[in-house]
Structure 1
């Protein structure tokens, strides 16, 4: 592995770019003053020649990192140490004053492994409410990210985001403020072979294990 805009239309959040007809990664990298290597890494692309019109790409470095002209990350070791320290200090909080609730009821059918699964999958019936795991602002609402279907991304603070994928219906728009526990979507199977919510926690742009932050149930 950022609705009410249809694939290929509508604005995107700052730091993202929606692929247009005729675009190549080289062109996108050049126009955004970065490298193909960076964009490939930031978006976990397996084939940098395969991008689709309407696809949304991250074109700026994740928070807490910078890039050298050759495309290598600087300050990565500091970011890794900061991540380890933050995660060790609290297993349920996303920084001061931010804690998570479960984003949906259902059975966890897939856990985080950091490679093939960037989050957890929660299965239930179509239309099951999906709620904001914490208060924040919606920075992405759309279906331009391949493999995620109708997806929401909520920013909670400068370091943490949560992502909610495969929804049937999105109930909030980009720029909207949401409260913890507020319904933001309905569970579905868009871009998935079964009805489920794919839920991710991202720290400084990197996916991390949601089970570290979710309360026991």
Structure 2
């Protein structure tokens, strides 16, 4: 009887261990919940990043981040450049000298389509060179997709800063407002293939988990334009993760999107 009890306990332990470390229910999908919530003192630029994507990663206003580092529009940054994240604008002169000391081996000239997953050189999203004409690109919010809301915005959640919308693989994702694409890539953990659009000096919007990106960085997009396709990149199901931020801070999209 004691021997049977020992064997039973061993068998139960094996089952528990296999349940914890194996099985389809424990697929290693990286979601936003796993991201570090604290902001480090600095960030080392990786290929493909823009000042906008870095500010998005750490919930910072891109204008303040640029000022902290003495970076002027069109906000050109380079791989391996050190970006200070702490708000210390009084040290701008020292920061500017450090920035000027960073010299790229070659001037970024290669163009990469937004749908490509190849490594690309960090480049400016020159929103000053191409001004938005509001007669052709009106400032007007609309829903980025037709699917129902799977998950809403929550002020209690430190990680879910937007809404999730239902859709089928390959269905269209539309620009929720007119603006300029300031990031197109997959470098932000938990967002999959991501687009970030700058609408003016205050508002940015983001579209995550896309299967395919249809626009490039620096491209002007019009409200309602098809910019991507529904996918499941960076997550465990097909959906669109949509966020709006004002001055670097998340806001509830439902407060801006049309009712119904």
Scaled by the length of structure 1, what TM-score is found? 0.62
Residue ranges of structure 2 left out of the alignment (5+ in a row): 1-31, 33-44, 69-83, 90-137
Partner in structure 2 of residue 49 of structure 1:
none
Partner in structure 2 of residue 112 of structure 1:
153
Residue 13 (structure 1) aligned to one of 50, 74, 96: 50
**CA 1:196–1:70 in structure 2 vs 1: closer, same or farther (change >3 Å)?**
closer
**CA 1:100–1:61 in structure 2 vs 1: closer, same or farther (change >3 Å)?**
closer
Aligned residue-pair number: 152
Aligned mates of 2:197, 2:142 — CA distance in 1: 14
**CA 1:116–1:9 in structure 2 vs 1: closer, same or farther (change >3 Å)?**
closer
Of Structure 1 and Structure 2, the greater strand share is in 1
Aligned mates of 2:154, 2:64 — CA distance in 1: 23
Of Structure 1 and Structure 2, the greater helix share is in 2
Question: Mapping of 1:158-197 within 5 angstroms?
Answer: 158-197=201-240
Tell me: higher relative CO, structure 1 or 2? Use CA pairs within 8 A at least 6 residues apart.
1
Residue 172 (structure 2) aligned to one of 109, 121, 129: 129
Aligned mates of 1:173, 1:9 — CA distance in 2: 18
Secondary structure of the 1:63 match is: helix
Residue ranges of structure 1 left out of the alignment (5+ in a row): 2-7, 18-38, 45-57, 75-96
Runs of 4+ residues deviating >6 angstroms: none
Scaled by the length of structure 2, what TM-score is found? 0.52
Higher Rg: 2
Aligned mates of 1:170, 1:187 — CA distance in 2: 9
